[in-house]
C-alpha cells in the first residue's frame, strides 16, 4: 500500500470515529458505534480511492512512464508541447479504460516514430548510420516478398513501426538531436562523397534507371527501384567513416538521393 493510501485510510478512520462520536454522543463507546464507525471508514476510504487516489496514481504512473522511457523523454525535450499532449492523451485513455497501458504506449510510440525523420539531419552520425543499416535489413526482406512496399517505404522516409530495433534507433536519433544537434553539411563539402557514390552506381545501372529513381517518375518498376535504392545506401555506407554519416544526413535532408 502506498503512503498516499495509508494517509487516506488513517484520515477516513479518524473522520469516521469523529462523526460517530458527534452523532451518537452517549452511545459512542458501544459496540454498535464501533460497527458504524468501521462501515463509515470503509465507505469513506473507498470513495476517496475512487475519486482522488486512483486518478492521482494513474497520472503519476503516466508521468513515470514518460520520464523513464528514453524515447518519450527525448521527444519531450524536442517538442515539449506535443509531448505534454501525448502524455495527457495517455492518461485519459488509461483512466477511461479505452486502451490498456501496453496498447496506449504502442500508439504513442507510433506517433513519435512518425516525427523522428525530421530530426535525422541533425542527429549524430552514428545513429543515422545505424538507422540506415536497420532500414536495409527491412528493405532486403521486403524486396523478396513485396517490392511495392519496399519502394513505398523508401519514398515515404519513415523510420518504421515501433518494434525493438526501430525504437532503439529512433531513441538514439532523438537523444543526439536533443543533446548535441549537428548542423547540416554544406553541399560543396558533400560533393566528393556524392561523386564516388554516383560513379559506383553508374557502373551498375543505366542513366535512365538512375534518373527514374531520382525523380520518382510514374511507371517505375518497384522491384528495380527497390534494388537501386538498396545499392545506393550500401554504397553510402561503404564510404570512409568521416564522410559516411554526414553524407547520409545530407541525402536524408534532401531526400533526392543525389
Torsion from C-alpha of 55, 57, 62, 65, nearest 10 degrees: -170
In this model, does residue 75 exceed pLDDT 60? yes
Question: What pLDDT sits at residue 257?
Answer: 44
- Choose between 255 and 28: higher pLDDT: 255
Cα 177 from Cα 35, distance rounded (Å): 62
Tell me the range of 68-82, 101-115, 183-197 where mean pLDDT is highest. 183-197
Share of the chain above pLDDT 70, in %: 88
In this model, does residue 48 exceed pLDDT 70? yes
Structural domain boundaries of the chain?
1-53, 116-254
| CA dihedral sign, ordered 201, 203, 206, 207 | positive
In this model, does residue 34 exceed pLDDT 90? no
Cα 221 from Cα 40, distance rounded (Å): 75
pLDDT one-digit tens code per residue, 106-163: 888 888 888 889 999 999 999 999 999 999 998 898 888 888 888 888 877 777 776 7
In this model, does residue 36 exceed pLDDT 50? yes
Question: What pLDDT sits at residue 46?
Answer: 79
Share of the chain above pLDDT 90, in %: 28
Q: Whose grid coordinates read 534494388?
A: 227
Per residue, what are the HEC states of the chain?
CCHHHHHHHHHHHHHHHHHHHHHHHHHCCCHHHHHHHHHHHHHHHHHHHHHHHHHHHHHHHHHHHHHHCHHHHHHHHHCHHHHHHHHHHHHHHHHHCCCCHHHHHHHHHHHHHHHHHHHHHHCCHHHHHHHHHHHHHHHHHHHHHCHHHHHHHHHHCCCCCCCHHHHHHHHHHHHHHHHCCCCCCCHHHHHHHHHHHHHHHHCCCCHHHHHHHHHCCCCCCHHHHHHHHHHHHHHHHCCCHHHHHHHHHHHHHHCCCC
- Choose between 197 and 6: higher pLDDT: 197
Question: What pLDDT sits at residue 191?
Answer: 93
Average pLDDT, rounded, for the chain: 83
In this model, does residue 81 exceed pLDDT 80? yes
pLDDT one-digit tens code per residue, 224-237: 888 999 999 999 99
Question: What pLDDT sits at residue 23?
Answer: 67
Q: Looking at residues 211-239, what average pLDDT do you find?
A: 84
Question: What pLDDT sits at residue 166?
Answer: 86
Q: Looking at residues 203-219, what average pLDDT do you find?
A: 78
Question: What pLDDT sits at residue 85?
Answer: 86
In this model, does residue 218 exceed pLDDT 80? no
- Choose between 133 and 5: higher pLDDT: 133
Q: Return the exposure string of 139-160: e unless at least 16 CB atoms fall within 10 Å of the residue's CB, then b.
A: beebbeeebebbbebbeeeebb
Question: What pLDDT sits at residue 27?
Answer: 60
Q: Looking at residues 63-75, what average pLDDT do you find?
A: 81
- Choose between 77 and 161: higher pLDDT: 77
Q: Looking at residues 230-251, what average pLDDT do you find?
A: 95
Amino acid at each position: 500500500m502506498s503512503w498516499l493510501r495509508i494517509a487516506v485510510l488513517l484520515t477516513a478512520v479518524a473522520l469516521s470515529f469523529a462523526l460517530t462520536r458527534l452523532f451518537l454522543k452517549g452511545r459512542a463507546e458501544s459496540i454498535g458505534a464501533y460497527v458504524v464507525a468501521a462501515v463509515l471508514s470503509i465507505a469513506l476510504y473507498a470513495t476517496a480511492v475512487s475519486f482522488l487516489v486512483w486518478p492521482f496514481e494513474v497520472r503519476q504512473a503516466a508521468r513515470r512512464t514518460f520520464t523513464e522511457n528514453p524515447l518519450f523523454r527525448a521527444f519531450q525535450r524536442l517538442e515539449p508541447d506535443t509531448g505534454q499532449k501525448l502524455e495527457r492523451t495517455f492518461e485519459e485513455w488509461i483512466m477511461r479504460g479505452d486502451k490498456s497501458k501496453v496498447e496506449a504506449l504502442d500508439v504513442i510510440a507510433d506517433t513519435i516514430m512518425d516525427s523522428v525523420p525530421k530530426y535525422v539531419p541533425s542527429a549524430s552520425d552514428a545513429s543515422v548510420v545505424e538507422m540506415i543499416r536497420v532500414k536495409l535489413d527491412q528493405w532486403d526482406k521486403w524486396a523478396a516478398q513485396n517490392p511495392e512496399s519496399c519502394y513505398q517505404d523508401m519514398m515515404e522516409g519513415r523510420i518504421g513501426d515501433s518494434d525493438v530495433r526501430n525504437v532503439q534507433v529512433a531513441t538514439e536519433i532523438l537523444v543526439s538531436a536533443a543533446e548535441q544537434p549537428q548542423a547540416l553539411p554544406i553541399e560543396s563539402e558533400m560533393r566528393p562523397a556524392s561523386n564516388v557514390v554516383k560513379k559506383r552506381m553508374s557502373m551498375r545501372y543505366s542513366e535512365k534507371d538512375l534518373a527514374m529513381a531520382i525523380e520518382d517518375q510514374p511507371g517505375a518498376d518497384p522491384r528495380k527501384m527497390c534494388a537501386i535504392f538498396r545499392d545506393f545506401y550500401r554504397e553510402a555506407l561503404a564510404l570512409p567513416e568521416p564522410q559516411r554519416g554526414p553524407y547520409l544526413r545530407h541525402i536524408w535532408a534532401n531526400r533526392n538521393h543525389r
